Amino acid sequence: MKLILTRDRSTEKSTTGILSVNGQFECYTLEDVVRPTKIHGETAIPAGEYEVVLTMSPRFKRILPLLLNVPGFDGIRIHPGNTDKDTEGCILVGESQSRDFIGSSRVAFMRLFNKLADAKDAGERITIDIIGA
């Protein structure tokens, strides 16, 4: 399964984008600000391609998608949330978006998670390619 996150807009608080699954629009995304120098808990991960696995999150106490081998970052997950206050480098997903906000995050997350779980159960490799600023 191939996820593509295309970053499209940055503000002083967040970076928004569009997530597709196997070439089809899936949902909107919100991340921290893309910065040339990392500020812990306030910086989006570098653009690039990463493997995604489903593992237990110690913080959220549930199985969540985890991006592997992100340079300079640990524990980067895809999870529900609405604003930059809900992410510490992680990728938030939602059904709607406006400046520095995504909405209906739990709905978007569950739909995406079910697709990821089906891919995992089918033995598919899951990757995410992050494009843009």
Query: What is the per-residue pLDDT across 6-60, written as a single tens digit (0 to 9) for each?
Result: 999 999 999 999 999 999 999 999 999 999 889 888 999 999 999 999 999 998 8
Domains of the chain: 2-131 (2.40.440)
- In angstroms, the CA 64 to CA 60 distance is 8
User: Which tokens sit at 58?
Assistant: 């110690």
Q: How many residues does the chain have?
A: 133
DSSP letter assigned to residue 42:
S
Q: What is the tens place of the pLDDT at every residue in 86-101?
A: 998 999 999 999 999 9
pTM (2 d.p.): 0.95
Q: Has residue 130 got a pLDDT over 80?
A: yes
